[in-house]
Structure 1
């Protein structure tokens, strides 16, 4: 499953490095992370990582295969 996750603000390279399995790109006032999510446990782990780093997820969606 491929997901796109949009985070409020522009993440630094250091914060982006906390998500090595995701590709990172910048949009106006947001950071867009996308990539393969292997299963539900991986997805919840990513969300927990965002929360623990104080990042605000503004949108998350599953991309078509």
Structure 2
């Protein structure tokens, strides 16, 4: 499974480094992160990491690889 996760604001390199399994790019006032997610547990772990870092997930969707 591949996911695209859009986060409010422009994440710093330090913050994006907390997600080594995802690639990122900044578009307008959002950071788009994307990459493979191995299973549901991994997805929930990513979401918990975003929350613990105080990041606001605007959109999340499964994409074709």
Shorter-chain TM-score: which interval? over 0.9
Root-mean-square deviation (Å):
0.5
In the comparison of the two structures, how many residue pairs are matched?
Answer: 65
Q: Which residue of 2 aligns with 1:6?
A: 6
1:21-40 pair list within 5 angstroms? 21-40=21-40
Moved over 3 A (4+): none
CA distance in structure 2 between the aligned counterparts of 1:5 and 1:16, rounded to whole angstroms: 12
* 1:64, distance to aligned residue in structure 2 (A): 1.8
Instruction: Work out whether 1:63 is the aligned partner of 2:46.
Output: no
CA distance in 1, matches of 2:53, 2:39: 22
Deviation at 1:50, TM superposition (A): 0.1
Q: Give TM-score scaled by structure 2 length.
A: 0.98
5+ residue gaps in structure 2?
A: none
Superposition TM-score, scaled by structure 1 size: 0.98
